[in-house]
Amino acid sequence: MGASKATRGGALQRANQRTLSDLESLEPRILCAHTLIIGHRGNSGIAPENTLASLNQAFLLGADVVEADIHVSADGIPVLMHDSAVDRTTDGSGIVAELTVEQLKLLDAGSWKSASYTGELVPTVTEALEAAAGRGPVYLDLKVDGLGGSIQAILADLKLPDTAVWASANTIELVTDIREHLPNTPILWWGTIPKKPNEQYFQSMHELGVTGFDLRWGEFSRGFARSARAAGMFFSTYTLNSPRELRAALRLDLDAIETDFPGLLADIIAARSGSVRAQLASGLLDIQGDALDNNIRIERGSTADSLRVTGMHGTRINGQSLGQEFSGVRDLRITLDKGDDTVRLIELTWNGEFELDTGHGDDFVALEAVQFSGTHHWINSGKGSDWFESRQSAVDSLLIDGGSGRDHATRLPLASLVDIESVWWRAA
């Protein structure tokens, strides 16, 4: 195997000539492998909002994250409810803060939407997090200030990490409270933004503890979204429900889209997803993608010399929707084409050759619990603005040729480039 677009030596020489500027590690950061689907109040276009039925449906239909609104009962228990009163979404009446959990549990929170949901209850945050565990984060829209400590206690009782929840905020006080109690929870800002932001604005938001933005569709400019993402901030928009709006948002290449119909968005994303061909010959696993968006996950198989390749968000492997396992793999080569591609390498111990060419497009490469030994490990990302991420990985030598465009690397063990935590560079 050899570098297909540039020699390793030439790429390394260009890499060393790049101008680098240190940035603080962007923690906490949301690992974004594609445009994430956020189910707004669950699958609320179909099911009763902020119920376990709505949450479960959203995850089953393809949501990566489920948003939920949070109020507090009279006895101090955080519950899922958008309005301050229960009248609109239950068969009862009264203010949430004046009713105990026992009283709230007597209400029917489903029949207002459809008779088929009769008997749905008002869930507590604890119940919602139990239902979501292992499926995706619950994105908390906190309607009451000062809940950071309560959420921290719930997560501790459930033995869940801070990252099991996201939080939205529109005031400095809310950000401060969340960050004090939940240091690793992503916080998305939906408050006032400047018309013409500069680098100092995004730096100040990062220092405040904000991870990114979640702004109403139509109330931000494309320039603001581009600048935020260029500054390493996550960017999401809400609440889009028509196919026309969803496709328009996808064309902006945002990190996430919030919708009442997560299944509809999942179908639209799947229609954009490509097909990958994987073949094993003489110990070389050769993976080739098409010109659409290829999202693939590669992880350790059932034996030491096997790899499992799985398509994500509609990407098919050899025409199949299920993952495929290959035994007797010594070397790995991945060649993708146009499109915004994602490659996740997970729990691999690798001493063979590794080459990844993501082609043109805005691509995402993640190494999670990967051990690379040896020297022939090479990534070429071509044109586009690309992300490289490493979690709990160790690499003897890794050469990244970022191609043209602004690329971002965070926590990569870049032995062949530089020895710093997080770098920005503009490729030659």
pLDDT per position as a tens digit, 125-174: 999 999 999 899 999 999 999 999 999 999 999 999 999 999 999 999 99
Burial 287-319 (b: 16+ CB within 10 A, else e): bbbbebbbbbbbbbbeeeeebbbbbbbbbbbee
CATH annotation of 36-269: 3.20.20.190
pLDDT tens digits, one per residue of 316-347: 899 887 889 999 999 999 999 888 888 888 88
- Residue 82 makes CB contacts below 8 A (sequence gap 6+) with 41, 49, 50, 69, 89, 143
- Give burial (CB, 10 Å; 0-12/13-18/19+) of 120: buried
User: With contact defined as beta carbons under 8 Å apart, do 40 and 261 qualify?
Assistant: no
Q: What is the pLDDT of residue 146?
A: 97
Residue with tokens 């902020």: 50
If you average pLDDT over every residue of the chain, what do you get?
84
Say yes or no to pLDDT of 190 above 50.
yes
- Residues 199-212 have a mean pLDDT of 95
CA torsion angle for 6, 11, 14, 15 (degrees, to 10)?
140
Q: Alpha-carbon dihedral of residues 99, 101, 106, 112, nearest 10 degrees?
A: 80
8 A C-beta contact, residue 168 and residue 142: yes
Q: Is the pLDDT of residue 275 over 70?
A: yes
Q: What is the pLDDT of residue 415?
A: 36
Whether pLDDT at 111 is above 80: yes
Whole-structure pTM value: 0.68
71 with 97: CB under 8 angstroms?
yes
- pLDDT surpasses 50 at 8: no
Is the predicted pLDDT of residue 235 greater than 50, yes or no?
A: yes
> Which pLDDT does position 240 carry in this prediction?
97
Tokens of 357: 């060419």
**pLDDT confidence of residue 409:** 55
User: Going by C-beta distance under 8 Å and a sequence separation of 6 or more, which residues neighbour residue 54?
Assistant: 39, 41, 42, 43, 44, 46, 47, 48
Q: For the chain, where do the domains classified as CATH 3.20.20.190 start and end? A: 36-269
pLDDT at residue 185 tops 50: yes
Supply the pLDDT for residue 418: 30
Q: What is the DSSP secondary-structure string of 303-353?
A: STTEEEEEE-TT-EETTBSS-EEEES--EEEEE--SS--EEEEES-EE-S-
Residue that wins the pLDDT comparison between 390 and 310 = 310
Mean pLDDT of 237-263: 92
> Does residue 93 register a pLDDT over 50?
yes
Task: Spell out the long-range contacts of 157-162 with Cβ–Cβ below 8 A and sequence spacing 24 or more.
Answer: 157/126, 158/126, 158/129, 158/130, 158/133, 160/129, 160/133, 162/28
Average pLDDT over residues 351-370: 84
In the predicted structure, residue 208 carries a pLDDT above the cut 50: yes
352 vs 88, more confident: 88
* Tens-digit pLDDT profile for residues 367-425: 878 888 876 778 887 777 777 777 677 777 777 776 666 555 544 444 333 322 233 32
32 — pLDDT class (breaks 50, 70, 90):
low
Name the more confident of 4 and 109: 109
Tell me the range of 87-101, 217-231, 291-305 where mean pLDDT is highest.
87-101
Give the pLDDT score at 412: 45
